[in-house]
A and B are shown apart, each in its own frame.
Chain A
Amino acid sequence: MTTVSVSAKPSVVRRRVKFTRGWFSRVVVWTILLVGSVIMLFPLIWMVSSSLKLEQRVFMFPPQLIPNPVRFQNYVEALTYKPFPVYLRNTVFIVVMNELAIVLAASFCAYGFARIRFPGRDFWFSTVLFTMMVPYVVMMVPQFVMFKRLNWIDTFLPLTVPYFFGGGGFNIFLLRQFFRTIPEELADAARIDGCNEFTIYARIIMPLAKPALITVAIFTFLNAWNDFMGPLLYLNSPERFTLAIGLANFRASFGSGLVSTGAGGRSRWDLLMAFATAMTVPVLVVFFLAQRYFVQGVVMTGLKG
């Protein structure tokens, strides 16, 4: 993008042109990216800023960007008004179960697909790829009917048990790709030492696959923590709600917010933003701690898919 070469001119001149143009376009590029970053960050800043405002100060036009006074009490109110700890506990439970299920089941299946040669393997692997491409919506209604027949509605079972069966096509695919890169010699050496496939899986492959497993674990966390449709369909009683459903209900109980109906019926945007911020912060913390794995996961799905 930045370099311009004029082939007819001597190379000395060319380099000078390149340098000055490069310098100028670098500043332009940097400025554009900076402006873009501000735009991308603004909604998040707005969320945090609104969450710290006094109720009346939320409804000011034009709005203040920096809350004055800063009211941390909003967080106390938002997180105690509805049983936030209960939602948090439920969400964490689902996340932990999904982690357990997916990391174990997906790596186990991926080992079979990646490291053992047997008739029918390629057929089943293409089935894995096929399940990744069918829209979830097609399964939504019949799965609901099925869980209703099983009497699983309003339990955590529909949101956890299915993951123990293979852990999802995407995760199997990602781990298989990684397992295939581990040299076969390691497994052969282990075989000579008397290891069978199961011990090779547990003692050799799993420890070596830590980066890929972490990537899978992070995306599992993200999906389970953020999931809205699943809990919306399967959880009915408030004591089983997750954070996502809790926030959605919190919004409903504080007015639709679509039409502001004046002083009496106004939405408590300060509290809503406090709840939303509280729900977003853990995701961002995980993101910052494990950015490397995030990028790796996105790239693995995007480039090797």
Chain B
Amino acid sequence: MKRLIRWLKKPAGRRTIVGYIFIGPFILGFIIWFLIPALTSLWMAFQEWNMIVPPKFIALDNFKNLFKDKLFWQSLKVTTTYTAISVPLSLTLAFIIALLMNTKVRGIEVFRTIYYMPSIVPAVANAVLWAWILNSEFGLLNAFLHAIGLPKILWLQEPKWALPAMILMSLWGLGGSMVIYLAGLQGIPNEFYEAAEIDGAGSWAKLWHVTIPLMSPVIFFNFVMGIIGTFQVFTAGYLITNGGPQNATLFYVLYLYRNAFQYLRMGYAAALAWVLALIIMGLTAFIFRGLGGRVYYEQAG
């Protein structure tokens, strides 16, 4: 004790006190808003609880029910399909657009602004706008199809079209990852390209052997963030289709939300949340192990 007090009076000890004062708010917040809820959530996953009657311990029943729950599998299928198509598609498009912009064409700032703008439109405004764009009778999309001689599509009424409509909508927000790609591309030193040219590399060779390897950390980052984001998509499914038609857009978080706040099955919702967390973390770890080794990092200088 005495030694501790003596140490605290020394500069190193004083620095430690000051340091903990600075990061104190975070530590407090971490315990109150993160650690306690996380532990509560873990405990809840093993209870049957509707917030009215006291919780009842039911061991693994929530998880057992979950695997028998058709809507759980439906929501998982919808979300996985959405992620599996939307993420690669929007990232590829964003990458191509960033590559085109990086060719130093005129008006790049204007283009960048235009492509980025949709990604900051408020989620609710975005949902309302797209509900109108996808409107089968008077919507913009069907007007476009009509103009090129195609029949109208019942985007939001037909189960087979509802999810593609959501994916289309998600592509409108590709500006965020595009800006990240563009910044990465602009950071590649010109010498790499010049060296490749001396070795006789054409445009494709330069793309495959210089640009893509050097961009791999950025691609990797966008990929992981994209998966984490799309697995948690909620607003569009909630506001545009409310999960319909025939649960074709019943996103995982929407189903979780319903269980928690409409059916008041708090324990079950907690179990759902943990399963989602495990899926996301498992996927992230899988990508890290599978691709992580192939990602090129510049040696820290």
Contact = CB atoms under 8 A, between A and B. Distances in A.
B34 A30 contact: no
B232 to A, nearest CB: 6
A159 interface: no
A119 B106 CA distance: 52
Contacts of A37: 111, 114-115
A6 to B, nearest CB: 9
Given A7-B200, A140-B273, A166-B25, A1 B117 contact: no
Interface in A137-184: 137-146, 148, 162, 164-167, 172
Contacts of B133: 43, 46
Interface in A1-40: 1-5, 7, 25-26, 29-30, 32-33, 36-37, 40
A138 B184 contact: no
B33 A143 contact: yes
Q: Majority SS of interface residues in chain A?
A: helix
A148 B273 CA distance: 19
Interface string B176-206: 1101100110010000000001001111000
Interface string A192-208: 00001110010000000
Given A58-B138, A60-B138, A108-B25, A284 B100 contact: no
B66 interface: no
Interface stretch (A66-74, A92-100, A209-217, A269-277): A269-277
B160 interface: no
Interface in B76-111: 97, 99-103, 105-106, 111
B122 A280 contact: yes
A276 B125 contact: yes
Interface residues of B, number: 106
Contacts of A105: 25-26
Contact of B26 (A2, A128, A248): A128
Contacts of B19: 112, 116-118, 121
Q: Majority SS of interface residues in chain B?
A: helix
B120 A43 contact: no
A235 B33 CA distance: 19
A293 interface: no
Given A33-B105, A140-B273, A226-B123, A165 B28 contact: yes
A4 B143 CA distance: 41
Contact of B276 (A42, A138, A251, A288): A138
B36 A141 contact: no
B22 A112 contact: yes
B124 A228 contact: yes
Interface in A255-305: 256-260, 269, 272-273, 275-277, 279-280, 283-284, 287-288, 291, 294-295, 298-299, 301-303, 305
Interface in B28-77: 28-30, 32-34, 36-38, 40-41, 44, 51
Given A108-B25, A135-B228, A302-B180, A144 B124 contact: no
Interface in A102-120: 105, 108-109, 111-113, 116-120
Nearest to A41: B114
A40 B23 contact: no
A279 B200 contact: no
Interface residues of A, number: 107
A280 B94 CA distance: 23
A251 B128 contact: yes
B196 to A, nearest CB: 9
B291 interface: no
Interface string A123-141: 0100110010111111111
Nearest to B109: A291
B121 interface: yes
A197 B128 CA distance: 49
Contacts of A303: 180, 183-184, 187, 218, 221
B235 interface: yes
B280 to A, nearest CB: 5
A141 B44 contact: yes
For the complex of A and B, the 6 pairs showing the least CB-CB separation, nearest first, are: A165-B29, A112-B22, A302-B180, A166-B26, A118-B19, A142-B37
11 contacts: A43-B129, A116-B19, A118-B12, A164-B25, A166-B26, A166-B28, A256-B242, A269-B132, A284-B120, A302-B177, A302-B221
Interface of B: 12, 15-16, 18-23, 25-30, 32-34, 36-38, 40-41, 44, 51, 97, 99-103, 105-106, 111-118, 120-125, 127-133, 135, 137-138, 140, 142-143, 146-147, 156-157, 172, 175-177, 179-180, 183-184, 187, 197, 200-203, 207, 218, 221-222, 228, 231-232, 234-235, 239, 241-242, 244, 253, 256-257, 260-261, 266, 269-270, 273-274, 276-277, 280-281, 284
Given A137-B253, A244-B124, 4 more contacts: A41-B117, A140-B257, A248-B239, A283-B121
